[in-house]
Amino acid sequence: VLELFKDDEYSPQGYKGDIYNEEEKKFISELSIVEIYHQSIKNIDERYSTIDTMTIAESAINSAGLSGKAADNLRNEYKKLGDRFEKLKENGEHKNLFFLGEIYRMHSFLFKTLFKNIIFQIMIIVVLITAYLVNYEFENSTHHLAYSSKRGRKIIMDKLFASIISSIIVTTIIMGVTLLAYFIFFDYSGLWNVPISTSFNWEY
């Protein structure tokens, strides 16, 4: 990509108007992504060689003002992390290709944006369903008749079970449809065996 733009013909300052067709734009876009991956791959070993988990541990201890047993516990946990980190580098897990985190931010989109919206939607719908079930007799002015009978006084338990079942159904539908659309739009077919510890997951 860098060599391509050295040519005045392809330089942003070297043309007027839209001289590229859609196929050429797509090619340049794909080529730029390949170049970004290429540059990232070259820097992986250098980035990982500068990471010292115990240095991070001491920084966290100083920032939180920990001492004594609390500080020792944190050091022990970071030591375990350091051992896992060394195995990760030996296995080469960090070099598996994945959606580039700094560009695509797939994990933030899925687990932060998408799931956050899903949870809010489910909460709102569950509250509406529960309120509808609880107030049904009052809204239809049948509460005097319903609650005057022996069976009617136990109807609240039926409403509880109905609310739980409805909530499960609504949750399944919302999550199912949303995640189905997500995985159709974003193709993960070649990425199921990629370790989550790959460096390309980094979003910062």
pLDDT at 129: 93
Cα 95 from Cα 92, distance rounded (Å): 6
Lookup: tokens for 28 = 């340049």
Burial letters for 127-159: b for 16+ Cβ neighbours within 10 Å, e otherwise? Answer: eebbeebeeebeeeeeeeeeeeeeeeeebeeeb
What would the DSSP string read from start to end of 7-43?
STTTSTTS--S----HHHHHHHHHHHHHHHHHHHHHH
Three-state DSSP state, 199: helix
Average pLDDT for 67-74: 92
What is the pLDDT at residue 18? Answer: 66
CA 178 to chain CA mean position, Å: 13
Burial class of residue 200 (count of CB atoms within 10 Å of its CB; 0-12, 13-18, 19+): buried
Q: Is the pLDDT of residue 57 over 80?
A: yes
Q: What's the pLDDT tens digit per position in 17-42?
A: 567 788 888 888 888 878 877 777 77
- pLDDT > 80? residue 6: no
Half-sphere exposure of 137 (CA within 13 A, CB side): 13
Q: How far apart are alpha carbons 94 and 87 in whole angstroms?
A: 10
Tell me the average pLDDT of the chain: 83
